[in-house]
A and B are shown apart, each in its own frame.
Chain A
């Protein structure tokens, strides 16, 4: 459990103001993504009432998983923590051992112009009985901000690659259709309709791009499994898998995009193939 001062906190305070529209009250709690495990529950929801040392708290927010220690935390106000400690003599099975006025950590938000390590060192030197440290959490936050800055650029590059791949697959299928003109003409001679020819070309393109999509997912997953450790170590952050539901939505969405890419790219070649006159198609290559 983490008791915070709602007046000065900058860790969960801004999040709370944005999502819950105010400061944390003394009977409210914000849970880390995995905090419910400590209540023996499979999950917690906003609005639930959870008991800490016999004192009820209303859950006003649940944080996203970070892979860091705060996933296991529950945030209450500092005042609530002191009250809880004194009441735990009566209401709780086990006493919470917090003296009034006792604090364990002072978080310091460092101006980006200053070096965090220098600030930590100076605090240690100038405030007796303290140990100044820099945290991975802050590093992660900084990294996250950097990634947010990069995201639009990465999306733009991705869109560019996607557009080029549509053109390349389109060119590939135009060549395939040209190469198979005689076969397509023969199919028409045997009774295939134009619709059948169109569907055949489209299906082939969608199958091909879906296969490419599956290959991409498998290759990407293998790459993540191999590199997640070294990358996390070098950046000083923990690797966190997205939630299962996010992974399912992402995978399905990615495969749909792959199928759409194939369909879009093969549209022109498929229409051209379906409009071939059987006689001309059969005689092609003579």
Chain B
């Protein structure tokens, strides 16, 4: 499934399986998934609701432990790491964008953006946070609290936060869900821009239109993964 080129592999899934127990029955959210994502890839994962897309990116990002199989990030089996090392990996190498408003309500925008630095042991510089807020076009809201922002503005701030520690991977789960088309377009352009800088992006979406912007499109169906080929963007 992986691309045959010289770029280093960023994410490897080998036989990744996640089984949940629901109503006394075991349900495989993802089942024996094999996948390689190379540095700089822009991968879209599409599929119906409940097909296992969100579980897939959660397993990739070390947010949930697979029932079976291995997950490697830059060659490191992340589930062999202890809690502290895994937290550091999440903090330093991966930026998450979620499908719901994910800002901390008691912090203003600039502090939300700087938050990941406190876990990575960085200085959480205000200037760097302001730079990112300018980049996502919400600098004027730097001192505002999440409840004072629109849904689109909140997503932008969340993206700025995901980028703050200069991660090599962005895992985005429906990053534009419930946003209007203009805001959606702005955010997708931002993703294009970040990917152009060499950041690997894995984006879950139910929209085939958005998926076509990616270099690779994968389809999840009943917990299994199929490669659909390239989208409009070149890898």
Contact = CB atoms under 8 A, between A and B. Distances in A.
Same assembly: yes
B64 A280 contact: yes
A181 to B, nearest CB: 13
A261 interface: no
A191 B63 contact: no
Interface residues of A, number: 21
Contacts of B115: 187, 190
A64 interface: no
B120 interface: yes
B40 interface: no
A137 interface: no
A232 to B, nearest CB: 47
A50 interface: no
B175 interface: no
A235 interface: no
B91 interface: yes
A186 B96 CA distance: 9
A192 B87 contact: yes
Chain A binding surface, main DSSP class: helix
Contacts of B65: 277
Interface string A245-282: 00000000000000000000000000000000111101
A278 B64 contact: yes
B119 A192 contact: yes
B61 interface: yes
A269 B164 CA distance: 31
Contacts of A185: 63
B61 A277 contact: no
A136 B222 CA distance: 89
B122 to A, nearest CB: 10
B32 to A, nearest CB: 19
B126 to A, nearest CB: 18
Given A188-B90, A190-B90, A192-B87, A279 B63 contact: yes
Contacts of B105: 183
Nearest to B105: A183
Interface string A185-214: 111111111111000000000000000000
A191 B64 contact: no
B87 A188 contact: yes
A191 B90 contact: yes
Interface of A: 182-183, 185-196, 277-280, 282-283, 286
Interface of B: 54-55, 58, 61, 63-65, 83-84, 87-88, 90-92, 96, 98, 100, 102, 104-105, 115-116, 119-120, 161, 165
Given A188-B63, A190-B96, A190-B161, 17 more contacts: A183-B104, A188-B90, A189-B96, A190-B90, A190-B115, A190-B116, A191-B91, A191-B116, A191-B120, A194-B83, A195-B83, A196-B119, A277-B64, A278-B64, A279-B63, A282-B63, A282-B98
26 contacts: A182-B100, A182-B102, A183-B105, A187-B119, A188-B87, A189-B63, A189-B90, A190-B90, A190-B115, A190-B119, A191-B90, A191-B91, A191-B92, A191-B119, A191-B165, A192-B87, A192-B119, A193-B83, A195-B83, A195-B84, A196-B119, A278-B63, A279-B63, A282-B63, A282-B98, A283-B54
